[in-house]
Amino acid sequence: MASRLRRWLMIGALAGAAGCGTLRTSEVFGAATDRLEAVRVAALEDREAYRVTLAQGFLDLAREARGRGDYDEALRFARRSLEVSEAVLHSPRRILEAAPIEAVPGGR
Partner 1 sequence: MRHLSAAILCLPLVTACLGPQEAARRTTDLGKLLEDRREAMENCAPRSLAEAEVAIEATRYHSRQGRPMEASKALDRAEAAVRSAWQQSQDNRCWKDQDGDGIPDRVDQCPALAEDLDGFQDEDGCPDPDNDGDGVPDLRDDCPLEAGTAAFRGCPPKDSDGDGLNDDVDACPNEPGSLVNRGCPYQDRDGDGVEDASDQCPDVAGDPGNHGCPYQRIQVTETQIELKEKVFFKTGKAEILPVSFPLLEEIAQALRDHPAIRVRIEGHTDSVGSDRANLRLSQARAESVRRFLISRGVEATRLVAVGRGEEVPLDDNSTEAGRAINRRVEFHILPGSP
Residue 14 engages partner 1 in binding (rule: CB under 8 A): no
Annotate 32-95 with three-state secondary structure. HHHHHHHHHHCCCCCCCHHHHHHHHHHHHHHHHHHHCCCHHHHHHHHHHHHHHHHHHHCCHHHH
Is 5 buried (19+), middle (13-18) or exposed (0-12) by CB count in 10 A?
exposed
Kindly state the smallest distance separating residue 61's Cβ from partner 1, in Å.
6
C-beta closer to partner 1: residue 31 or 61: 61
Kindly state the smallest distance separating residue 67's Cβ from partner 1, in Å.
12
Site for partner 1 in 26-85 (CB under 8 A): 49-54, 57-58, 60-61, 64-65, 68, 70, 73, 77
Residues forming contacts to partner 1 in the complex (CB under 8 A) are 49-54, 57-58, 60-61, 64-65, 68, 70, 73, 77
